[in-house]
Amino acid sequence: MKRLIFGLLLATMLFAIPGTIDAKKKKTTRKTAQEQKYDYLSALERKIVGKHLLTLQWISWESYGSVTIKKEANGTLSCRGEQLARKCPKGTEQGNIDNDDYVKIDGVIDIVDKDHLIFIGQIRTKVYHINNGQEVLRDGTFNFVTKENRHYWRMQEMTNPADECVDYIDIFFK
């Protein structure tokens, strides 16, 4: 009788062990929804696709805009975003200026490497003291590059075509 009970107990344990091991394997290989969302991206695309901060130095270094880079169904990386001026309190450097300055970016990204992105599309800027406060439209191909220990890609075509001043347009890493 003891042998029968021992045999049944041993058989039960042997059948239970593979199920336990399989359950553990399934748990460790299961991905979160966030991870599954980016499964179709290359390692480099994972670093670039997503939401980034966007700045134009004339607007603010303190209140950022944002730009979203996403992979479309056709495989292209779309890039769209903006930074809008915020009203500054009286008594600050820009406190007496009421403006509606902005930078808006809309186009596609080609990845050269982790340090160099090519943006093809439109960049619109409006800054109260540049071009008599009128919008400046740039349409074409622009290089965004990071150097040294910077945490952003900076547009290399910096000269504003309407006023010959320098615009620092930056897309920050995630």
**pLDDT at position 173 over 60:** yes
Listed by start position, the domains of the chain span 2-30, 35-172
pLDDT tens digit sequence for 68-103 = 999 999 999 999 999 999 866 555 555 445 679 999
Identify the pLDDT of residue 2: 61
**pLDDT at position 133 over 60:** yes
Identify the pLDDT of residue 19: 53
Identify the pLDDT of residue 61: 80
For the chain, percent of residues with pLDDT exceeding 90: 64
Task: Report the pLDDT averaged over residues 98-109.
Answer: 92
The 3-class SS string of the chain reads: CHHHHHHHHHHHHHHHHHHHHHHHHHHHHCCCHHHHHCCCCCHHHHHHCEEEEEEECCCCCCCCEEEEEEECCCCCEEEEEEEECCCCCCCCCCCCCCCCCEEEEEEEEEEEECCEEEEEEEEEEECCCCHHHCCEEEEEEEEEECCCCCCEEEECCCECCCCCCECCEEEECC
pLDDT tens digit sequence for 20-64 = 555 555 555 565 655 555 567 999 999 999 999 999 999 988 889
Mean pLDDT of the chain: 84
